[in-house]
Structure 1
């Protein structure tokens, strides 16, 4: 990284100012462009995070609405995620008292807990 420029304070027309060499000015402009690019990337990532959050909220609402009328959803899906966060070994079809909505609900809850 280049050395930090030492500002040269001057008075111009009765106002305090800082004088830069052409090289220092070009470095300043390049730094501003880099920061602007990074700021734009952060805004895009923040928007994507908000969209993903909204998708999760919509999924949770859809599952909650489905849950009331689901004949296979006799018991809530247990929090059966292993400690390492991997997917449970037995799919819903193998356990008659569970259904896909319970598994998805458990998965959503697990991932929400890791982000909170």
Structure 2
């Protein structure tokens, strides 16, 4: 079981309240902060990719809707595929 950190010591420095952490806990806090920054960057990248994919699907759906009747079977199959994937994503 991981050791639970103790409550940090509260100190006053220059009239302002602060906390004193052991060096190991401070380094762990910095490492956690770096990890969160990396996760945030990955989430932003995935969000951008999701928006681009949604635009692609919208454009594809519009293109399929404008196709002539010779490709009606393919158009229906692709439209159904888009609906199915959109339904699964929601």
- How would you bin the TM-score normalised by the shorter chain? 0.7 to 0.9
1:101 and 2:75 are equivalent in the alignment = yes
Q: Does 1:53 align with 2:27?
A: no
**SS of structure 2 residue aligned to 1:43:** helix
TM-score, normalization by structure 1: 0.69
Task: Return the offset for 1:5.
Answer: 4.0
**1:110 is the counterpart of 2:84:** yes
Higher relative contact order (CA 8 A, sep 6+): 1
Q: Which digits, 9 at most, give the CA deviation of each residue in 1:17-50, with x for residues without a partner?
A: 1111211111111110111111111111111111
Note the C-alpha offset of 1:71.
Answer: 3.6
Aligned-pair Cα RMSD in Å: 1.5
Structure 1 unpaired stretches of 5+: 74-98
TM-score normalised over the length of structure 2? 0.87
State the structure with more CA Rg.
1
What's the CA shift string for 1:24-83, capped at 9, x where partnerless? 1111111101111111111111111111111111111111111xx32453xxxxxxxxxx
Q: How many residues align?
A: 89
